[in-house]
Amino acid sequence: QVQLVESGGGSVQAGGSLRLSCAASGYTYRSYCMGWFRQAPGKEREGVAAIFTGGGGGVYADSVKDRFTISQDNAKNTLYLQMNNLKPEDTAMYFCAAAHAVWCGSSWPEAPWYAYWGQGTQVTVSS
C-alpha cells in the first residue's frame, strides 16, 4: 500500500515561492507516475504536474508552466513541487498522487487515474 505525505504548504504574498514535498512509502511496483494536483473551494481537482519515477522530465498544466517545477529524489522516495511567482489563483489544497504506470501519458491530469493520494497541504497566496 503506497502512502503519501505532503508538506511545505503555507501562506505567501503574490510573487513569492514555496516548495512542496511528498514523502512516499510502501511502493509495491517498480514504476509510477507521480502527480501534483490542487483543489480550490468549489472547484474540481486539477492536475498541476506529473513525473515518471523511471526518469524523464515533468509535464505541466498550462496555468503553471514556466512557474512550477516538479522533481524527485528517488533515493529519498520524495517528490517535490517548486512553485515560483505564485499568484492568488494558485490558492488551493495541493495533493500528491501515485499511479502504477509505465509512463505519464495523456491520462496524467485525470484524478481518477491515480490510485494513491496524500492528505493535502494548503497553499494560500495573497495579493
Asked whether residue 3 carries a pLDDT value surpassing 90, the answer given is yes
Contact predicate 101/33, CB 8 Å: yes
pLDDT in tens, 67-101: 999 999 988 999 999 999 999 999 999 999 999 99
Closest listed residue to residue 108, CA positions, set 124, 96, 118: 96
Asked whether residue 24 carries a pLDDT value surpassing 90, the answer given is yes
Residue 92, CA distances (Å) to 23, 34, 42, 103 in order: 20, 19, 10, 27
Asked whether residue 5 carries a pLDDT value surpassing 90, the answer given is yes
Asked whether residue 28 carries a pLDDT value surpassing 80, the answer given is no
Q: What is the pLDDT of residue 80?
A: 98
Asked whether residue 30 carries a pLDDT value surpassing 90, the answer given is no
Mean pLDDT along residues 3-21: 98
pLDDT in tens, 35-66: 999 999 999 999 999 999 988 889 999 999 99
Task: Give the separation between CA 77 and CA 74, rounded to whole angstroms.
Answer: 5
Q: What is the pLDDT of residue 54?
A: 87
